[in-house]
Structures are given as structure tokens and as C-alpha cells.
Structure 1
Amino acid sequence: MNRVLSILGIRGIPAKHGGFETFAERLSLHLIEQDWQVTVYCQEDSGTKIFETEWCGVRLVHIPVSQAGAVGTIIFDWKATCHALSQQGLFLTLGYNTAIFNVMQRIKGQINVINMDGIEWRRDKWGFIAKTWFWLNERIGCWAGNHLVADHPKIKQHLATRVSEDKITMIPYGGDEVLSADAGLLEKYGIESGCFSVIIARPEPENSFLEMVRAFSRCRRDHTLVVLGNFDPENNRYHCQVMEAASEEVLFIGAIYEAPVVQALRYFSRFYLHGHRVGGTNPSLVEALGAGCAVIAHDNQFNKWVAGPDAAFFKDEPACAVLLDQLLANETAVARMKSASCERFRARFTWPQVLHEYEELLTRWSPSK
């Protein structure tokens, strides 16, 4: 009998939105090759009726939701979970943000593995109500899931304060190794290989944008800092602060979703600056390692495990400025850090490793072995 898996908790595939969608796409295609039957629930912004399609052998269940934003996501998760109650096989839920709905699956006796993602309720961007919602759903997810996946050792340690450690498996996020890129894609931005460093993240306070831009802008660097992200300085005070703090050597190029362009920006950069202060295994940091970037990252337990001991770490703006002073012109250090990133990536974060670990875990929990 074929093993059957349904994936919940994401916007859908093919991937268009983020790390979980990319992971779901890669996992689905991998499992199809191993003779699994895979269903992925997909959120649609128009229509009134649920319908099904097939993509590369994966069954897609499309659920229309008229509401936008967080409310629309919650409604989609509700409808997807209700639909899943009539399905057979194993379930994989990516994220615990609406784990309260997964209680229905637990009551019915369905087997559900939940990837618990990061510690969402600790993020600065959320208000009290949102933090309370995430905190409660984290607790519920720990109970409702038959087994939990943590994407980082520290996330596993955190979850082990909620449930038995035997109920948790640590599997990180994966990425593609980038061995070449098109340098011609840099021309439109007026930058050249090795003459710029890059930040790629959502421009939020918890991602240390202001600290990194200020540190870089303290003096003339004869170097360009390229900043990717969707900035709206007219309507967002923090975005305005970041842009006002930037020297003329900081280049804001907006949000870019074309993978070849983003790969080129990583591959040809001198440094990748990563300011995330919360979370587990961050997909952008993994992708930077896969592109062989020399990494300068915020000094916390999450980044240090992912990037490894040969990356450079800063606690605050002055420390970041000192690292830039010391490292920007240090060719030996750059070469050593790039090599270390490649080694760290190959040791732990390649897709074949990650997908094989997921397949083993899901096979162990599948009711149709």
C-alpha cells in the first residue's frame, strides 16, 4: 500500500511565498519519487468552491478565501483542517500558528507531525494579543501533534520544556548549493563582484537593520552595502529611520523575488550581513552558506549554530562597526570565512540530507507502512 501524506499550514505550492513553501515543494517532489501519495493544501484569493488540480504528481487542494492578511490565513487553515478530517494517511503541519484547529485531528485519531517553526511569540513586532495567540497555540501544538519537529537544537531545547524530548526530532531547513551565478545580473544595480556586501531580510527591528546600516555608515568604506527588502518610509517609521541613517554608499534596491538575481547578489558579495535576533534555522542564512558567503551575523544561539564558529558575530552596532573596520579589506579573512561557510553548509544543510531525514521520520509515523 502506498504511503499517504497531506501537508497543511502553508499557502501552497509551487513555492511563491517563503521558506516553508519552498520546503513543502522540495519534500513533496522527493516523496513522489519514493512512491508516496502527497496532497498539499493551497490558499486561493478568489473563487467560492474548493477544487483540486495536480502538479508534478502532487495532488493540490485549492481552498478559496476572500479575506486578506492574517484573518484570511486563519480562515484558510480552518477550512483546510476541516477538509483534512475526511482524508486518510499521515499529516504534516508546518507551523503551529493555528494549532488549535489540529485538536480536531487529534480527537479523531489522525496522526499529525507538526513542525513547530520558531518561537513566534517572542518576536518584537507582535502586540500583546498576537503574542498571546501564538503562545497559546504553541502550547496546544505541543499537545495536539503526535510528534514534533524542531528546526534547530535550541528550538528542541525550548520545546523540551513543554513535552518529553522523545517527542521531538531536530531537522534543520535545507538549501541549494550555488556554485556559479550570472555576474551580468549585477550591472543594473551598478555593482561589481566583491565590491559590495548584502543584507536580505524583512526590514523589521528584530532583524537589526538599523544597527547594521548605522555601523556601515559610520565612515566612508569605499564599498557598497546592498539592502534587499520592501521599504515603505512614508508609512513605516522604522523604515524611515533605517533609510535616514544610511550613507550614500548604502543602496536600497527593494524586494527581489527572482531567484537568479538573489543568488548572484549572494554569490558575488564580499559579506552577507544577517541581523536576525530570534528564530531557529533561518532559511536566508542557510542559503547564504550555500552560496559560500562570508557571514557577519548577530551574536545569538540560533545564528551561531547555523553559521558555525568561523563566521563573525556582533552583539550591537559598535561591535558590528568594528567587524566591518577589521574585515572589509582583509582578503585572507574573507577567503577563510567563505570556505568555512561552504563546509558548514555541506555538513548539515543540503536538501538531500534534510529530505532523507524527513522521509525517515514520516515513514516511522505513517499509518500505511
Structure 2
Amino acid sequence: MRRLNVLGIRGIPAMHGGFETFAEKLALHLVGRGWEIVVYCQEDRGGAVGESLWCGVRRVHIPVKGNGALSTVLFDLKCVLHALSRRGVFLTLGYNTAVFNLLQRFAGQTNVINMDGIEWRRDKWGPVAKTWFWLNERAGCWIGNHLVADHPKIKEHLATRVSADKITMIPYGGDEVIEADAGLLSRYDIQANEFSVIIARPEPENSFLEMVRAFSRKRRNHKLVVLGNFTPETNAFHRQVMEAASDEVVFPGAIYEAPVVQALRFHSRFYLHGHRVGGTNPSLVEALGAGCAVIAHDNHFNRWVAGPEAAYFQNEAACAELFDGLLYDLASVERMKSASRARFKERFTWEQVLREYEDLLTRWYPK
């Protein structure tokens, strides 16, 4: 029986983000294919390492007190140390502490590293954090036996560090959504197709301010629902975004109920995606799977994912022009929705993505 050991995430079942969702999908897929799966999980407690079984997946619970950056670094180190005695192939999701994976290389373990996005380019990080991420990106490229890039442009970037033969491009996947409960929208005082939506972390690099200002330039007779954990009392950027919003912008906070998020995507007129840095963004893939008409920041990451039928903006003025021209052009909205579903089925279904991962991990399985 083949064994896969998964490191680099907080654990499964998924409760945190894209990598956790992917790890859950991959683990369950491979268990069904006869693999033994071990996933390392972070627990905010003291005490000893424990193990449990979840849906056929072995979870190794690593105790680390706290939830900050230092706790995450300590958790990753403890995972690598514990994993040194394990056999099989290893999949590390993210390179943020790739220097620790050197221990696995010394131990002769085979480690495939998903290199995620170009983390050190993100505006939110200070000089120390950017330097740490830059160094670990380099380390991951050298230390990993093989690398996964989730976007063609990420592969091109990594190929400036190592040979392109060492890199396989496999994007993120998503579920197709063909129906969603419109009744869930009532709690936000919105109706199906009478709102557009933004779903992202409220950070400057995700174009929140540009999109909210563009929408708020004039009366739209339409709602813009902006999901995210806004803390205007302590975060100047959050305060700036909220002060720029018209009374047609709704801030419901962060929403983690999957059926509600699905309903917000599925019943929106437009899904707005302002990310300027990164590879294949999970939220954008999920928007395609829900058949959303996409308005996105114009960069090579978003263009490859969303395709030529999406609408793109470079700045606030261009975004406002898209609202002016497209908001009530329902024929264009329907054309964009159909194109999103087609693009999703072409490249981003979980069936395709998980099959490609299984093929890659099988190819790199220790002899």
C-alpha cells in the first residue's frame, strides 16, 4: 500500500483556507484509491502528540500553543521532526518554512513541494517577513525533490530558480455549483441577481479600495456585498474602505458557512476579484464553478484562470467604467456566466486536478 504524508497545513477537515480544502479533497480521493494517508494537524494546546482516524485518513495532532506566525513556524518544525521516521512520499503545501525540509532531504525522504504563490511580493509583509519568504522560496526550490506550480506564470517564475523539468503545473480545483438556496440571502437584505459580491481578505493588494470606490461613484440601484473580516477600529485600510463606501455597499463580515457563500456566488450578478499577486486563486476558481460573471483585476494570473470572456480593470476608473457599461447589460452577463462554466470544466474540476496529483505522486513514489 502506498503512503502519502501531508505537511504544511493546519489540518483537516478543512476550516481555514484553500490548501486545507485541497488536502481534504486529495486525502479522501487517495483513500478511495487504496492509499494510506497521513495528515499533520495543528492543535492549540500543550501535551503529547496524538493520532486519530477521520474518514479513513490518519491525522497526527501536533500540539502548539497559540495561533500566530511563530506558532505556525514551530508547528511546521515539529511536523518535519515527527515525519523523519515515516515512510512513503511526502507532499508539503507551501514553502514558508522550507528550510526545515532540508532535514527530510538529509534523511533521504522524497518530498514534493507545492510552491503556492509569490508570497514575498505581497504588500502586506514588512522587510523582515519578505526576506524570510524570499529565502524560503529559494530553499524550497533547491530542497524539494519536485515542485508543483499552481499556475503557468508561477512555473515560469520558479524556472528562473531551477530547471523547468523539476516543476509540474497543476492548478487548484473547485466544485461545480448548479443550485443554491436563495432564501439564505434574506438575512443580508438582498435578492438574487440584484447584487454583486467580493469575497477575499481585505488587504490593499486585493484592490478593495479601488473596487468599492468605483462602485460608489454613483447611485447604482444595486448592492455590492463585501465579505471579509473588517476591523475599522484598529486597521486604517479597513476604515478607509468602509468610509469610501456608499449606502449600497453591504459589509456582512467574514462568512464561513459554505451554503451561504455558495448562495452569494451563485445568485450574484458579478463576482469581483481584485487580487494582483498570486497564482490560481481558489476563490476565483470557485466563482467559475458557480457560473459567476467575473470582473477581475487585469493581470496574467487572473487572465489565465478566468479566460478572455471575463471583464478586466487596471485601476479604479476602469473598474467604474465596467460597472457603468455592464451592470445592466444582462445579455453580456449571461454570456460571461456561460464562459465561466466552460472555463471551469475545461481546467479546474477536482476530478482533473486530483488525477494529476495522483499521477505525479505515483511517479515520485520511492522505489
Scaled by the length of structure 2, the TM-score of the pair is: 1.00
Give the aligned partner of residue 236 of structure 1: 235
Counterpart AA for 1:56:
C
Give the aligned partner of residue 365 of structure 2: 366
- Give the whole-Å Cα distance in 2 for the aligned partners of 1:286 and 1:362: 23
Give the aligned partner of residue 10 of structure 2: 11
- Give the whole-Å Cα distance in 1 for the aligned partners of 2:315 and 2:48: 51
What's the offset of the Cα at 1:108? 1.1
Q: 1:273-352 counterparts in 2 under 5 A?
A: 273-352=272-351
Give the aligned partner of residue 219 of structure 1: 218
Q: 1:165-184 counterparts in 2 under 5 A?
A: 165-184=164-183
Partner SS, residue 366 of structure 1: coil
Give the aligned partner of residue 159 of structure 1: 158
What's the offset of the Cα at 1:367? 1.4
Give structure 2 stretches of 5+ with no counterpart: none
- Give the whole-Å Cα distance in 1 for the aligned partners of 2:220 and 2:209: 17
- Give the whole-Å Cα distance in 2 for the aligned partners of 1:221 and 1:139: 47
Give the aligned partner of residue 67 of structure 1: 66
Partner SS, residue 173 of structure 1: coil
What's the offset of the Cα at 1:107? 1.1
2:280 pairs with 1:245: no
| Residue-by-residue CA offset, 1:241-296 (whole Å, 9 max, x unaligned) | 00000000000000000000000000000000000000000000000000000000
- Give the whole-Å Cα distance in 2 for the aligned partners of 1:58 and 1:367: 21
- Give the whole-Å Cα distance in 1 for the aligned partners of 2:232 and 2:118: 28
What's the offset of the Cα at 1:114? 0.1
Q: 1:25-36 counterparts in 2 under 5 A?
A: 25-36=24-35
- Give the whole-Å Cα distance in 2 for the aligned partners of 1:102 and 1:174: 26
Counterpart AA for 2:226:
V
Q: 1:204-215 counterparts in 2 under 5 A?
A: 204-215=203-214
Give the aligned partner of residue 113 of structure 1: 112
What's the offset of the Cα at 1:48? 1.1
Give the aligned partner of residue 185 of structure 2: 186
- Give the whole-Å Cα distance in 2 for the aligned partners of 1:24 and 1:218: 42
What's the offset of the Cα at 1:56? 0.6
What's the offset of the Cα at 1:68? 2.7
Partner SS, residue 13 of structure 2: coil
- Give the whole-Å Cα distance in 1 for the aligned partners of 2:326 and 2:352: 32
What's the offset of the Cα at 1:46? 1.2
Q: 1:12-161 counterparts in 2 under 5 A?
A: 12-161=11-160
Partner SS, residue 193 of structure 2: coil
- Give the whole-Å Cα distance in 2 for the aligned partners of 1:84 and 1:116: 20
What's the offset of the Cα at 1:35? 0.6
- Give the whole-Å Cα distance in 2 for the aligned partners of 1:343 and 1:63: 42
- Give the whole-Å Cα distance in 2 for the aligned partners of 1:68 and 1:147: 30
Partner SS, residue 155 of structure 1: helix
What's the offset of the Cα at 1:315? 0.1
What's the offset of the Cα at 1:7? 0.2
Partner SS, residue 137 of structure 2: helix
What's the offset of the Cα at 1:52? 0.4
Counterpart AA for 2:254:
A
Counterpart AA for 2:33:
Q
Runs of 4 or more, structure 1, over 6 Å off, are: none
Counterpart AA for 2:216:
S
What's the offset of the Cα at 1:66? 1.1
Partner SS, residue 341 of structure 2: helix
Counterpart AA for 2:134:
W
- Give the whole-Å Cα distance in 1 for the aligned partners of 2:164 and 2:188: 49
Partner SS, residue 309 of structure 2: coil
What's the offset of the Cα at 1:116? 0.1
What's the offset of the Cα at 1:67? 3.1
Counterpart AA for 2:108:
G
Counterpart AA for 1:353:
Q
Partner SS, residue 61 of structure 1: strand
Counterpart AA for 1:209:
F
Q: How many pairs align?
A: 367
What's the offset of the Cα at 1:322? 0.2
Give the aligned partner of residue 254 of structure 2: 255
- Give the whole-Å Cα distance in 2 for the aligned partners of 1:11 and 1:361: 23
Counterpart AA for 1:341:
S
- Give the whole-Å Cα distance in 2 for the aligned partners of 1:146 and 1:178: 36
- Give the whole-Å Cα distance in 2 for the aligned partners of 1:273 and 1:58: 36
Counterpart AA for 1:243:
M
| Residue-by-residue CA offset, 1:217-238 (whole Å, 9 max, x unaligned) | 0000000000000000000000
Identity of aligned residues (%): 74
- Give the whole-Å Cα distance in 2 for the aligned partners of 1:143 and 1:111: 13
- Give the whole-Å Cα distance in 1 for the aligned partners of 2:77 and 2:47: 15
- Give the whole-Å Cα distance in 2 for the aligned partners of 1:233 and 1:366: 49
- Give the whole-Å Cα distance in 2 for the aligned partners of 1:23 and 1:364: 20
Partner SS, residue 264 of structure 1: helix
- Give the whole-Å Cα distance in 2 for the aligned partners of 1:68 and 1:55: 23
| Residue-by-residue CA offset, 1:138-161 (whole Å, 9 max, x unaligned) | 000001100000000000000000
- Give the whole-Å Cα distance in 2 for the aligned partners of 1:158 and 1:124: 18
| Residue-by-residue CA offset, 1:293-325 (whole Å, 9 max, x unaligned) | 000000001000000000000000000000000
- Give the whole-Å Cα distance in 2 for the aligned partners of 1:341 and 1:89: 38
Give structure 1 stretches of 5+ with no counterpart: none
What's the offset of the Cα at 1:47? 3.0
Partner SS, residue 367 of structure 1: coil
